[in-house]
């Protein structure tokens, strides 16, 4: 009898062409499938909670896969970690109902965009934070970010190449804070379009640079015109930070 296992992991995206398996280029899913094969002897497809772009990181990521193998969900994380590269770490596993789907059942996600804001770069985090050398006023950016909250057609914040038809999304929380030289944009919502958080971050940087005013953001959203929003901020500042499910046992995962 096949079980359906939900697995939590985190990964540094620097070396990967995103999560999702593709023909050319190493991916997180390919490494996970390889480790699952080593542990179970089965070639089980991994169903990820989200596609992430090349270079994007995940502090918390969920995927599920079906297996006939006997290994307990408690032992699986250490078993998979023994077969995974250092930059992918499995942190928890739970058996879930047969029809549980890591993407369809996700009811919300939180992304963080990390900006190292200093005149001088930090030699320790080239691929882990976006270095921005000019002063940033986090209060101004926090004020600007509040305009993202609500249910809107976010097509102005969606890169070309997306095949999604319904571009309405609900953002439940958006804030910008500072800890020393780290400026952090956190955004939580029920779903996100292709590159949406990176374009939001780029738009906030446009506000910081005076190219846009915070008050223009509602107009930019209403315009549904990608060219009016800011740049797509670089991938390496972006982290999928948390994923939410309405599943009662979910809160028993360690670290929740």
| Contacting residues toward a second copy, per CB under 8 A | 10-12, 57, 77, 81, 86-91, 120-124, 126, 128
Q: Which of 53, 122, 137, 166 is catalytic?
A: 53
* Beta strands in 154-217, from DSSP E residues, in sequence order: 168-179, 182-189
How many angstroms separate the first and last alpha carbons of the chain? 30
- DSSP string covering 124-160: T-TTTSEEE-S---HHHHHHHHGGG-EEEE-GGGS-T
Q: Which is nearer to a second copy, 83 or 226 (CB)?
A: 83
- Taking the complex as a whole, the smallest distance from the CB of residue 120 to a second copy amounts, in Å, to 5
For residue 87, the minimal CB distance to a second copy (Å) is 4
Q: Which residues are CB-neighbours of 190 under 8 A, at least 6 positions away? A: 107, 108, 169, 170, 172
Would you say the C-alpha torsion 22, 26, 28, 32 has a positive or negative sign? positive
Q: How far is the CB of 77 from a second copy (least distance, A)?
A: 7
53 a catalytic residue: yes
Q: What are phi and psi of 223, to 5 degrees?
A: -65, -25
Cβ-based nearer residue to a second copy, 90 or 115: 90
Which H helix or E strand runs over 107? strand 106-117
Nearest CB to a second copy, comparing residues 54 and 128: 128
Nearer Cβ to a second copy (8/169)? 8
Query: Smallest distance, Å, CB 233 to a second copy?
Result: 18
- Would you name the residues annotated as active-site residues? 53
């Amino acid at each position: 009898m096949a079980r359906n296992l939900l697995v939590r992991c985190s990964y540094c995206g620097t070396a990967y062409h995103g999560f999702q398996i593709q023909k050319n280029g190493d991916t997180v899913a390919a490494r996970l499938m390889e480790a699952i094969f080593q542990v179970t002897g089965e070639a089980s497809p991994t169903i990820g909670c989200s596609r992430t772009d090349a270079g994007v990181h995940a502090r918390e990521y969920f995927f599920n896969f079906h297996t006939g193998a006997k290994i307990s969900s408690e032992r699986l994380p250490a078993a998979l970690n023994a077969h995974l590269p250092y930059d992918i770490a499995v942190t928890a596993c739970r058996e879930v109902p047969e029809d549980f789907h890591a993407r369809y059942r996700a009811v919300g996600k939180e992304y963080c965009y990390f900006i190292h804001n200093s005149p001088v770069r930090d030699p320790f985090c080239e691929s882990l934070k976006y270095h921005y050398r000019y002063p940033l006023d986090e209060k101004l950016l926090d004020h600007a970010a509040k305009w993202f909250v609500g249910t809107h057609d976010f097509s102005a914040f969606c890169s070309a190449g997306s095949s999604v038809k319904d571009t309405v999304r609900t953002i439940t929380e958006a804030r910008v804070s500072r800890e020393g030289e780290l400026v952090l944009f956190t955004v939580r919502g029920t779903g996100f379009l292709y590159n949406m958080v990176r374009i939001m971050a780029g738009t906030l940087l446009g506000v910081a640079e005076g190219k846009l005013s915070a008050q223009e953001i509602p107009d930019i959203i209403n315009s549904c015109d990608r060219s009016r929003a800011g740049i797509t901020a670089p991938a390496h500042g972006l982290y999928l930070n948390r994923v939410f499910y309405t599943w009662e046992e979910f809160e028993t995962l360690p670290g929740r």
